[in-house]
Amino acid sequence: MHNPYNDDVTGMEEVGHKKYLSYSCNGCHGGGGGGGMCPPLTNDTFVYGADDDTLFRLIALGSDELQKDGYTRVRKEIVTGPMPPFGNIIKTSDELWRVIAFIRAKNPSSMKDVSNPAQTPGGAAE
């Protein structure tokens, strides 16, 4: 999967931030993505990887389902609980991509892994 907004993450930042807030992502990750009771989205530590495919699946399926699909933690971060699934809450893939564009705008270094999955379904590293 590939985020259609990767070429304009700064242009999508405001819209993505509104989506981020409307889905209450700020309740765990902080209003600007700087962390709270869950990991910050503004550092280089993405527990399962920072590529588009993995982030999309993590947000849609949640971390428990991601692990059932064979994904493992590739980086360490303090996590107080599992990432809940938002696939039934975020109504369209376009809205989810906008949230990811906001994350990318807040953390430009996450763009380096955008098309380079740390792993694939089934847990195989690429």
The answer, yes or no, to whether residue 115 has pLDDT greater than 80, is no
Encode pLDDT of 80-113 as tens digits: 889 999 999 999 999 999 999 999 999 888 887 6
Backbone Cα Rg of the chain: 13
> Looking at residue 110, what is its pLDDT?
84
Query: Domain residue spans in the chain?
Result: 6-26+44-108
Cβ–Cβ < 8 Å for 82, 62 = yes
Encode pLDDT of 34-69 as tens digits: 888 888 898 888 889 889 999 999 999 999 999 999
Tokens found for residue 112: 């380096």
**Band of pLDDT at residue 124, cut at 50, 70 and 90:** very low
Question: What stretches of 23-125 show up as alpha helix (H) in DSSP?
Answer: 26-29, 52-61, 63-68, 93-106
Closest CA to 34 of 20, 48, 15, 23: 20
